[in-house]
Every structure is written in structure tokens, then in C-alpha cells.
Amino acid sequence: MKRQITIKDIAIKLGMSTSTVSRALRDHPDISPKTRAAVKELAALLGYRPNRIALNLRSNETRTLGLIIPEIEHYFFSAIINGIEEIAYKNDYSVMVFQSNESYKREVNNAQAVLTNRVDGVLVSFSKETKDFSHFQKLIDNEIPVVFFDRVTDELQADQVVSDDYQGAFLAVNHLIEKGCKRIAHFAAPQHLALGKGRLSGYHDALLKHSIPFNSDLIFHADTFESSRKIAHTILKRPDRPDGFFTVNDMSAIAVIKAAKDLNLKVPGDVHIVGFENSRSAALCEPELTTVDQFGYDLGREACQILLRRLKEKNSNFKPEKKVIRTKLVVRASA
């Protein structure tokens, strides 16, 4: 980077002190209109840009947010990033993105990096592998505000923004039952994730409402396309195959559709399927997927807004906030 114009350059050229220049630039009331004008004119002429790093050092702030996220390529997360970036942009913050790639080890590194980079606050959705949260506790110990979203934990004293997993799941399964499903399988996320528990619980209660007995044989851990396709393929061949599926995300749901087709089962004739996410793909697959909209963009916005609010507060009597983002059943063709 080329040597940049500094206030010293301006001060010398104008035969005044750096402090006067500094004050003129920031419209300090003491400065005479004449000098102010002269300084600003020359600054504009020379293309002066304040050195953010010097400012950072002085103020001990970076106006930068850290984002630790499992994988950008997943539609839901990219929608969230979109929302986060939008709010950050409007408030003149920048966002540093760190992917954990669902690896605990890398996530620990990310937490280090975030600390090293002296970001003002951090947004986190942790990896599936993560069961120990001490790397995040370290951030909190350093009094860096942390907001968790989607993948959250109660082990830490921090704000949380999550989808209404229970409600979304309830709506989904209720819909399947109303479509006549009797044997509804659930493809679940790991149960150490709150969202995994919440969605299972919504599934459970929707059955309960319709007096359908809960059967743990119908619960599977399957939250990726590959694993879901494989498991669906297996269980759809059984004589007592499920007639409905509620999956933890859209990729899993689409995998079930594929498996059903492979086996010449009609969707939604023989098998009804509801996903969770409302990704772009949900509207593209065939049949189009009935799913629960998670409003990732709004979730990202909300998480970022809460973080920015925390940054403003600066007070110590801290009471973690939990924000639940609404969900909505989007009925398409698959159920």
C-alpha cells in the first residue's frame, strides 16, 4: 500500500499543528471557520483518509464483527450471513468471516483468530462436533460480546437467536397427520444441539395431539443429503415403511424424495415429506418441497442487531437475551 496522506502532512503544508488539523477535521467547536475550511479543503485535495488502524489502537475498537459459522455453502447460513452483513453495513461495521467446516478443532482456531483480530463482537453458530465451549467462554471472559444463533447452548451466559424449532416441527408434523400419515419418520439432528431437541419435541407433541403413539424406531439421526438418502432407501423398502417424513433440513427431505423415486414410490401419493429451512432448492426440486421457512435472513439481521446493541450498552449487569424467530409452514407439493 502506498504511503498514505496523514494529518501531519496537512499540518506541515498548512503550517499548523497536527492537533489543530485533527480538530478541524472532526468539527471541533474551538476551531475557527477559516482554518477548518482550509484544512478540509486541503484534506479533500490530497485525498486524506484517516488511518483506521491508528484510530483502532487509540480507541481500542475496530468496528469489526467476527462471524464463526459452520459452512458458508449451506443456503441457510448464507442467508444468515446476508442478514448480518446488511445490518453491519448499515451501521458501518465490517464483518470477518471464519468457517469452522463443522470441525471443532478449526473452530477453536477461529475463536483464537477472532481474539487476535480484536473484533468488537462475535456472532457464532458452532459446529456439530462442538461439545466443549471453553473457547467461547474465553471470548466472554475477555468481555467480548458474543451472540449465538441457530446452534446455541445454555452452558454459556450469552445471547441467543434461534428459530422456533418446536413450533415449526409441530406445524410440519401436524400437516403430515392431516394429510393422512400414520407412520411418520423423523430424520433428526444430533440431540446435543438444542435445535435437534426442539424439533424432535415438536414432532412428539404433534403426534400426541392426534393420539398417535410415539415410536422411537421411527427416529433416525440423518441431517445430510447422503446419510438421509441412504437411510430412506433402507427403510422405504420395509413392508412397514413410513408414509410420512419430517426431516431436520431441506437437503435431507430432498434426499428422501430421491430415495422414494428410486423405489418407484409416489410423492406425495405413497410418501409425504416435509422439510425444514425453505432453501432455494425446496422450490426447485420435484415435487416441490413442503417445508418450514426459517427466515434465515431475518435471523441474521436480528442476531446482528442484538450484538450491536450489546456493543452500545457497555454496562456490566448483563442479562442474556433469547430471541426466537418465527417459523412458517410453506405448503408445496410434497405433502
Partner DNA sequence: ATGAAAGCGCTAACAC
Partner DNA sequence: GTGTTAGCGCTTTCAT
CB of 312 to DNA, least distance (A): 17
The residue whose grid cell reads 406445524 is 171
Nearer to DNA, 36 or 221 (CB): 36
Q: Which stretch binds DNA (CB under 7 A): 30-38, 67-75, 148-156, 316-324?
A: 30-38
- Distance, in Å, from the CA atom of 265 to the CA atom of 258, rounded to the nearest integer, reads 10
Is the Cβ–Cβ distance between 278 and 308 less than 8 Å?
Answer: no
Cell of 68: 464463526
Using rule CB under 7 A, residue 314 touches DNA: no
Is the Cβ–Cβ distance between 271 and 256 less than 8 Å?
Answer: yes
Q: Which listed option, DNA, a second copy, none, makes contact with residue 7 (CB within 5 to 8 Å by class)?
A: DNA
Q: Which stretch binds a second copy (CB under 8 A): 90-98, 186-194, 197-205, 321-329?
A: 90-98
DSSP H/E element including 148: strand 146-149
At position 194, the amino acid (one-letter code) is A
DSSP H/E element including 187: strand 184-188
- Distance, in Å, from the CA atom of 217 to the CA atom of 222, rounded to the nearest integer, reads 14
- Distance, in Å, from the CA atom of 64 to the CA atom of 144, rounded to the nearest integer, reads 12
Q: Which stretch binds DNA (CB under 7 A): 27-35, 101-109, 172-180, 281-289?
A: 27-35
In sequence order, what are the residues at sequence separation of 6 or more whose Cβ sits closer than 8 angstroms to the Cβ of residue 262? 233
By CB under 7 A, the residues from 40 to 99 that bind DNA are 48, 50-51, 54-55, 57-58, 60
- Distance, in Å, from the CA atom of 67 to the CA atom of 59, rounded to the nearest integer, reads 22
Which sign, positive or negative, has the C-alpha torsion 265, 269, 270, 275? positive
By CB under 8 A, the residues from 268 to 327 that bind a second copy are 280-281, 284-286
Q: Which stretch binds DNA (CB under 7 A): 13-21, 71-79, 125-133, 138-146?
A: 13-21
Fill in the per-residue mask, 119 to 158: x = in contact with a second copy (CB under 8 A), - = not in contact: -x--------------------xxxx--------------
Using rule CB under 7 A, residue 292 touches DNA: no
221 strand-pairing partners: 188
Using rule CB under 8 A, residue 234 touches a second copy: no
- Distance, in Å, from the CA atom of 108 to the CA atom of 257, rounded to the nearest integer, reads 37
In sequence order, what are the residues at sequence separation of 6 or more whose Cβ sits closer than 8 angstroms to the Cβ of residue 25? 7, 39, 40, 43, 50
CB of 34 to a second copy, least distance (A): 28
Using rule CB under 8 A, residue 46 touches a second copy: no
Q: How many residues bind DNA (CB under 7 A)?
A: 29
Q: Which listed option, a second copy, DNA, none, makes contact with residue 285 (CB within 5 to 8 Å by class)?
A: a second copy
Is the Cβ–Cβ distance between 301 and 309 less than 8 Å?
Answer: no
Using rule CB under 7 A, residue 112 touches DNA: no
Using rule CB under 8 A, residue 118 touches a second copy: yes
- Candidates 202, 222, 223; CA nearest to 214 is 202
Nearer to DNA, 116 or 211 (CB): 116
102: left (phi over 0), alpha (psi -120 to 50) or beta: left
Using rule CB under 7 A, residue 143 touches DNA: no
CB of 158 to DNA, least distance (A): 25
Contact positions toward a second copy, by CB under 8 A? 1-2, 4, 49-54, 56-57, 60, 62, 64, 71-73, 75, 78-79, 81-82, 85-86, 89, 94-99, 106, 109, 113, 115-118, 120, 141-144, 254, 258, 280-281, 284-286
